[in-house]
Structure 1
Amino acid sequence: MTTLTRDPAHSAPAGRSRNSRAPRQGAPRLRGPAWLVWRQHRAAFWTLIGLTVLAALAMVFLRGQMVDHLDAYDASAGKSGGPPSDFEEYTGRLFSFGGYLGYIPVLAGVFLGAPLIAGDLESGTAKLVTSQSVSRLRWLTTKLAMTAALIALSTATLGAVFDWWWSPAQGRTDTLEWTSGALFDVTGVMPVAYALLTFAVGVAVGTLLRRTLVSMVVTLGAVVAIGVVWDRFRLNLGNIQSVNTDQGVGPDARLPELPSQAVQQGQGTYFLTSSGERLDWTACLDQIDNEKAHTACLESQHVIGWSIDYLPISQMQTMQWLGAGIMLTIAAAVVAFVLTWGRKRLL
């Protein structure tokens, strides 16, 4: 076929192959450092996205099972509000899944944060990229921003779905203590803040040590240390409240009743005196074998009832926002250090 028989309207423009495709107008495209970061870490990014989707679907399925069980029990019993006798099976799944989600900060710090910069420094990619028209600051900012955004989106999604799963069980059982890490750390804003903190720590360790494997090991130790400190510090964010009785402490005296879903704090119950002071429950314990002597000892201390400390579930969101604010502040400081250090001493 000659060129005379070809439709000029459909002929390929000069300088372009007939088999080449014109870029679609309006389609979002990554360019420059963003495209490079995605191409470089696409395996880890797609893995994170895939695990997030699978975990979310699993929680939706398990929640459906729990809700169906509760609905069937309420229909058969003709009432709602109480838990079925076998409800612990479903709450156990909920608690176990929350424990698994608690490993997300470890994964974010060790497998995403530590190798992010250390891998490029060790392989020489950082020197190659920054020798082009891309500045060190822009390269660092792009890598941190893209990875942090994906971590925040994934953890926010998982936290929201887990909270949705937990909501039907709230108020129907007291076996799920909301102060535990399996519930407190994986709902609300906490999973986002916690994962971003460990991610920032991992990036900082990798930037300083410049070796991937060593950075991952050190980051694992740092994340474990953060978890230990956080477990000890978490409950200090709340305002402990007390509930008292003034009907004595004899065998017939009833202990104070805690509000629904409240978690008892401290070492247990205390003796409450007429002056409002509290005594440790071990007071007069040495005379417990002699009922009269024990009663006389308590009367001499002017004991009138019991006192119990607790944290109500109404403080959960406030405590989570306070904890998240602290974590995000530390993470921002660590990121600022990484950017400052990397801009001057990275290569």
Structure 2
Amino acid sequence: MSTVTDPRTPVAAPAAKSPRRPHLSGMTWLVWRQHRAAYWTLVGLTLACLAGVAWQRSQLTDYLAKYGWPHLKGDEWVQGFTAYSGHLSQAGLALTCVPVLLAVFVGAPLLAPDLENGTAKLVAAQSVSRVRWIGTKLVITGVLLVAGTALISAAYTWWWAPVKSQAGWTEATYFNTTGPVAVALTLFLVSLGVLVGMLARRTLTAMVVTFFLSIAVEVVWSMSRLSLGSEVNATTHHAAGLPGQSPTLPTGAYEIDSNYITGSGKLMGWSTCAHEASEKAVEVCLRKADVVGWSTKYLPISQLSSMQWLGAGILFGLTAVVVAVVVVRGRRRLV
């Protein structure tokens, strides 16, 4: 029995397909769903930091504009810069704590809870490989950390740039929060936190151990970062026994050490004749020591970029080693 369709009956047009929106699926969706609270917190804090830095920089540039910024002349602007430098250093100090906090609250809990409550055993029993599961967690977390840290670091560098010659660029407040060091140090500490969580297999234990380990890394880094640069030596020469003025260093230079220099080129500490009771006695002491000038070692601010990239390269390399250990151990002994 056939059905005859009346040619006069209008035929309904096929429904237009709605454009498919991009969405997460599979393992990516699972990882995002599991850690969505931490991930959204990272996004929110990043946006809040960017807004705060933008507002603070506008305040700084409004102040500097009174003295002809971006072409500042003289040092008059330095007199009233104290309040703005306080905000800048306080923000930088807060940012130096961010890598440690991320290592404790993002890195350590990335795998430790799954190992503690048995979720890792369930994952190991599925068709998805353990390496893919760990890799997805590391990649998503790493992308968010790199994007957020890089944006905040770039914004803080933008805020600091107009006055970096007057701020202590060798201090952790600025050296660790500008350029590539901020990203590299964050990734290294977070990867350490992931490894500690994998080994400890207890969330709270992993967070505590990661905190103290991160502090230790920060201390070692602060003690070694100046060695990333190449010292420059400046000398002055005067008559015997008259050291005169120490060398004039370039703007923004960081002075490492300053010593008397003798006619034979020997260096003597600046306190060599400080024990003498009078200026005449000091002059006699200096003549006996054959002091003829000063020798000053310093780091020029022009080395900042090269020092940061060298340090970041070392940290990136260490991060790659830690991540490799996490992946290999996760493949062999996850549960």
* TM-score of the superposed pair, with normalisation by structure 1: 0.88
**What is residue 187 of structure 2 aligned with on the other side?**
196
Cα distance in 2 for residues equivalent to 1:140 and 1:11: 42
**What is residue 304 of structure 2 aligned with on the other side?**
316
**Shift in Å at residue 81 of structure 1?**
4.8
Identity of aligned residues (%): 44
**What is residue 218 of structure 1 aligned with on the other side?**
209
1:117-147, Cα deviation, whole Å (9 max, x unpaired):
0011112222222322211000000101110
Check conservation: 2:240, 2:290, Cα contact below 8 A: no
Runs (5+) with no aligned partner, structure 1: 13-21
Structure-2 change in CA distance of 1:293 and 1:79 (3 Å): closer
**What is residue 183 of structure 1 aligned with on the other side?**
174
**Shift in Å at residue 183 of structure 1?**
0.3
Return the match for 1:331 from 319, 325, 331. 319
Structure-2 change in CA distance of 1:274 and 1:106 (3 Å): same
**What is residue 236 of structure 2 aligned with on the other side?**
245
**Shift in Å at residue 80 of structure 1?**
3.4
Asked if 1:207 is matched to 2:198, the reply is yes
Cα distance in 1 for residues equivalent to 2:80 and 2:111: 50
Which amino acid in the other structure matches residue 305 of structure 1?
G
1:184-238, Cα deviation, whole Å (9 max, x unpaired):
0000100100000000100000000100011000000100000110010011111
Return the match for 1:31 from 16, 19, 25. 25
Cα distance in 2 for residues equivalent to 1:207 and 1:6: 66
**What is residue 264 of structure 2 aligned with on the other side?**
275
Check conservation: 2:243, 2:293, Cα contact below 8 A: no
Runs (5+) with no aligned partner, structure 2: 1-8
Secondary structure at the aligned position of 1:257 is classed as coil
Asked if 1:147 is matched to 2:135, the reply is no
Cα distance in 1 for residues equivalent to 2:168 and 2:32: 40
Cα distance in 1 for residues equivalent to 2:246 and 2:24: 64
1:147-169, Cα deviation, whole Å (9 max, x unpaired):
01110111100110111111122
Check conservation: 1:284, 1:294, Cα contact below 8 A: yes
**What is residue 47 of structure 2 aligned with on the other side?**
53
Count of residue pairs brought into register by the alignment: 326
Return the match for 1:111 from 105, 111, 122. 105
**Shift in Å at residue 332 of structure 1?**
0.7
Secondary structure at the aligned position of 1:103 is classed as helix
Return the match for 1:341 from 301, 307, 329. 329
1:72-129, Cα deviation, whole Å (9 max, x unpaired):
2439xx9735342211111111111111111111122100000000011112222222
Which amino acid in the other structure matches residue 277 of structure 1?
K
**What is residue 94 of structure 1 aligned with on the other side?**
88
Cα distance in 1 for residues equivalent to 2:133 and 2:327: 10
Return the match for 1:68 from 36, 57, 62. 62
